[in-house]
Copies of this chain bind each other. A is one copy, B any other.
Amino acid sequence: VRLSREDWVTAGLTALGSGGPGAVMVEPIAASLQATKGSFYWHFRDRAELLTAALERWEQLATQSVIEHLEPIADPRMRLRALLSIAFRDEDELRLEGVVLASGHDPVVAEFVERVTATRTAFLSRVFVDLGLPSGEAKVRGRIAYATYVGHVQLGLTDSGDQPSRASIKRVIDEMISIFAPDGAAARRKR
């Protein structure tokens, strides 16, 4: 059975999601694909190259597609709500996201996390600008909101088994919107 480079990348991404960059190991992955390590080294220069290829795929899925889907929503509060409902989807789907965001200390991963962070905080700042905040304040709030998201994904990774109910997710989303994008009257009072 002949393997393509993409087959290895897919297996690499699976390993990345289950145990972080350290779990992207040549020999175990080769064994899971029923090939030898020698075969791996025909497709890739080294372990880092596989990790990089897997992260490229993740970056595509994690930013481009999401943002292209949300960009058209004109009303900023609705755009934020749509974003949150993606962010709070099923915990299992967030595993890969959480593991990658948590691996910034790995130099290979760091480059990707930095780029994704910049894209996403810019997107969130835009929401707050559209809600009427001055650009400096919108930037700070965009960063804080993104930190909240990152932390949430992180916490979901260790939450012992119990999947949150649909109702409790809605409650958290409502609370987050009332915290970060309170209605006009309350917002005006603060200035």
Do B160 and A114 touch (CB < 8 A)? yes
Chain B CB within 8 A of A105 CB: yes
Contact A117:B158 (CB < 8 A) given known A104-B102, A105-B102, A140-B172: yes
Of the candidates B18, B137, B189, the one whose C-beta lies within 8 Å of that of A186 is B189
Q: How many copies does the complex hold?
A: 2
Do A157 and B104 touch (CB < 8 A)? yes
Q: How does the 8 Å CB contact mask read for A105-142 relative to B, with 1 for contact and 0 for none?
A: 11000100110010000000000000000000100110
Contact A179:B178 (CB < 8 A) given known A105-B157, A117-B158: no
Contact A154:B20 (CB < 8 A) given known A141-B179, A182-B190, A189-B186: no
Report the nearest B residue to A113, measured CB to CB: B158
Contact A175:B141 (CB < 8 A) given known A114-B160, A146-B155, A189-B189: yes
Chain B CB within 8 A of A28 CB: no
A154 to B104 CA separation, bound complex (whole angstroms): 8
Which residues in B have their C-beta under 8 angstroms from that of A99? 105
A137 to B105 CA separation, bound complex (whole angstroms): 34
Report the nearest B residue to A171, measured CB to CB: B140
A102 to B153 CA separation, bound complex (whole angstroms): 10
A172 to B146 CA separation, bound complex (whole angstroms): 13
Q: How does the 8 Å CB contact mask read for A1-31 relative to B, with 1 for contact and 0 for none?
A: 0000000000000000011101000000000
Do A144 and B114 touch (CB < 8 A)? no
A146 to B172 CA separation, bound complex (whole angstroms): 13
Chain B CB within 8 A of A61 CB: no
11 residue pairs from A and B, CB less than 8 Å apart: A99-B105, A102-B104, A102-B105, A102-B154, A104-B157, A140-B175, A143-B155, A144-B152, A144-B172, A146-B155, A179-B180
Give me the 5 closest cross-chain CB pairs, A-B, nearest first: A147-B151, A150-B151, A151-B151, A102-B102, A104-B158
